[in-house]
Structure 1
């Protein structure tokens, strides 16, 4: 069969879906990854076929578009309408401020040439199945426009599924009604109506969902899902010589992810961690680029910084992973069977809005609360709050993660559960069957 995968064109969204593409291609299916410009080099480097929909000039609308900025008043009004309680407020704020704004970036009020090119390719190539990124829901419209079966590929907690369930429960339906319209449905609507596609629950949530998350990390409750093992993919690279053999002393990885290095200068979590490992009989390998090293004091002698090394190369040599809880780093650490120390704070996920229209992002990754709750709840790791814990407390955390046998046992249990899930190759027959049932 023909399978089209479509994603937000950045590494942190592309890399998680590469193993699905490889599994399908290895099984003999034709695979294309179609998306706006920005990811084609990484797609080709993975040995896959890229379809570029649109041009860089057309895509470069910029984040200054007025419809992209979260409206705090609207965010609060809709939260009241769908009865968001304080325990769920962070999830709502992530959905409204981050996922919704990202989805709208490629769903302008007047459908873009990128979107038209995506549908044009789908109608020309006629895939049997479209697998799409929840942060890029235009893929669902393209699937409906060409008659393909379609499913979402979760890359983290299901914020859009959870929010849509809230609208279904409290606002008269998945798309909402009256003064409580689901903003995700409204973002998709202009593109969908351009191709006579109905905006309904199936369009927003897919006919089923590929879900790599354990129950403790799920947000949505009643969606049709296909469990699958998250297979780390970090791109290729030449293995550095210092990774050839076993390290002379316990090695600790420090990674704060691809998105951080893309959007920020400086690194607020790192100074305290670097000071904490000074004097310990360990080697800390910190994957920090030049922007992230801005403003840091001189590094301790037992710290090695590298601009980039694939985590699939680095983590097998490590004893502990210190990370920010994002899906890519988190699951790479689970796959390497490592205890984790996840950086998290007590901040709200709500942006701090300024009078000039700007905003300040919290020093907390949007996924860190859920990842932290999972590893600490399973006894597989510890929480590090750089805002409140002292250097001595951070040092104690590192020693505990290295030496406590109960944390080692917790990491083993989490790793065994990860191994027990079906791999992307294992679910190919399920995808074939579901495609036959849902293809129009």
Structure 2
């Protein structure tokens, strides 16, 4: 079969999709990966075939156009998707209606509109059997509708999008006919009708959703979920010489992710304070720190090694603990290798994921605003000294390993496309 993957030019989202694209390709299927022209190198570096569509739109610019994106919603989630963590009685229709309309105008159209004409033209010419899209790249389902392909989402996060949509539909149904506006559906319907169809709800939430978290960490809407095991991929990687030898004392990794330096003004925690607090401990610290952030440091402790990048899937298995921000890839890679985690979350789904890991007994959750040097030192010593965290980390690894692999998912998707029957949750 032919499979078309689609995402706007966001690296972290692409990394979450690449292993499934590989699995489908090595199973013998034809795979193409469509994104904006400036993102082509990221796709081809992964050994995948790129299809440039539209023109580049900087995701960071979308944040600037969306006032309060990072902090205006509760728990740091962008409006209106912060309702995903609220009690139903604490959600008002005016808030959800108005904020959804604003996000469509300021964010979703900004990222998607430049891609749509080229993507639809390619889909109609190439005729994919299946379109796999990142959950806010609505150009994907528009193209699927235009060419008659089946389609679904691959999550890079908790499904705040599906849960928010559930709340939206519930509250909308309770309103009088004159107050049932649906900006997202109306926008997508215009494209569907232009290509001879009409809007259906799957254009927002997919015919199915591939989720790479175990059930204990997921946030689920009233949708069909297909679980898939996370496979680490962080781009081109070389294992350095120093990493080939086992550490002679406990190794602790520190990584605060890509987005902090690519999208925002540095890390949410005081890295100098944290490094200083760990300087006298009998541990080896390996911190992946962007070069620009390294230049801000006044000193580097003798027990610390700072590197701009090291393959996380090679580093984590050598560690006794990992200190990180709670991002999807870092959290999942660490969990897959049964290493206890100290999570310092700031925004988006990081706080919810940190709380979920802590409930599973494999992590300590310390919010970024409270992550002073002494607090991090105290939490790390507790993490290293309490065997229950290692036990919890091994249980989490078993949950991760129990999920179907991308290879198994490739077979399931091929069978689903072949028989066209409704998809059921796995």
TM-score, structure 2 as length reference: 0.86
- Superposition CA RMSD, Å: 3.3
Question: 2:362 matched to 1:372?
Answer: no
Encode CA deviations 1:200-248: one digit per residue, 9 max, x unaligned: 2111111111112233433333201111111111112221111111012
| Alignment correspondent of 1:398 | 380
Aligned ranges 1:335-414 → 2 under 5 Å: 335-344=336-345, 364-388=346-370, 390-414=372-396
Gaps of 5+ in 1: 345-363
SS at match of 1:217: coil
SS at match of 1:254: strand
Kindly tell me: are residues 215 and 322 of structure 1, through their superposed partners in 2, closer, same or farther at Cα, counting changes over 3 Å?
Answer: same
| Alignment correspondent of 2:288 | 287
- The 2-side partners of 1:70 and 1:365 are apart by 12
SS at match of 1:426: helix
Encode CA deviations 1:302-326: one digit per residue, 9 max, x unaligned: 1111111221122122111111111
Question: 2:159 matched to 1:158?
Answer: yes
Ranges of 4+ aligned residues in structure 1 off by more than 6 Å = 64-67, 70-73
Kindly tell me: are residues 374 and 65 of structure 1, through their superposed partners in 2, closer, same or farther at Cα, counting changes over 3 Å?
Answer: closer
Kindly tell me: are residues 315 and 142 of structure 1, through their superposed partners in 2, closer, same or farther at Cα, counting changes over 3 Å?
Answer: same
| Alignment correspondent of 1:435 | 417
- The 2-side partners of 1:65 and 1:381 are apart by 30
| Alignment correspondent of 1:272 | 273
* TM-fit CA distance, 1:290: 2.2
- The 1-side partners of 2:63 and 2:353 are apart by 32
Encode CA deviations 1:135-164: one digit per residue, 9 max, x unaligned: 211101101100111011111111221111
| Alignment correspondent of 1:115 | 116
Task: Assess if the C-alpha contact under 8 Å between 2:289 and 2:307 holds in 1.
Answer: yes
Kindly tell me: are residues 335 and 83 of structure 1, through their superposed partners in 2, closer, same or farther at Cα, counting changes over 3 Å?
Answer: closer
Task: Assess if the C-alpha contact under 8 Å between 2:340 and 2:383 holds in 1.
Answer: yes
- The 2-side partners of 1:131 and 1:387 are apart by 37
| Alignment correspondent of 2:397 | 415
Kindly tell me: are residues 281 and 62 of structure 1, through their superposed partners in 2, closer, same or farther at Cα, counting changes over 3 Å?
Answer: closer
Task: Assess if the C-alpha contact under 8 Å between 1:334 and 1:415 holds in 2.
Answer: yes
Encode CA deviations 1:93-147: one digit per residue, 9 max, x unaligned: 9x96998654332234xxx3x3100011111110001111102111011011001
- The 2-side partners of 1:21 and 1:143 are apart by 17
| Alignment correspondent of 1:225 | 225
| Alignment correspondent of 2:329 | 328
Kindly tell me: are residues 47 and 165 of structure 1, through their superposed partners in 2, closer, same or farther at Cα, counting changes over 3 Å?
Answer: same
Task: Assess if the C-alpha contact under 8 Å between 1:264 and 1:291 holds in 2.
Answer: no
- The 1-side partners of 2:260 and 2:102 are apart by 15
SS at match of 2:38: coil
- The 2-side partners of 1:273 and 1:190 are apart by 52
| Alignment correspondent of 2:249 | 249
Once the two structures are overlaid, the 10-residue window that deviates more, 136-145 or 378-387, is: 378-387
| Alignment correspondent of 2:76 | none
Task: Assess if the C-alpha contact under 8 Å between 1:70 and 1:97 holds in 2.
Answer: no
- The 2-side partners of 1:4 and 1:61 are apart by 22
* TM-fit CA distance, 1:39: 2.2
2:109 to 97, 101, 104: 104
1:63 to 61, 64, 67: 61
Encode CA deviations 1:65-110: one digit per residue, 9 max, x unaligned: 997557989x68x97xx9855599xxx89x96998654332234xx
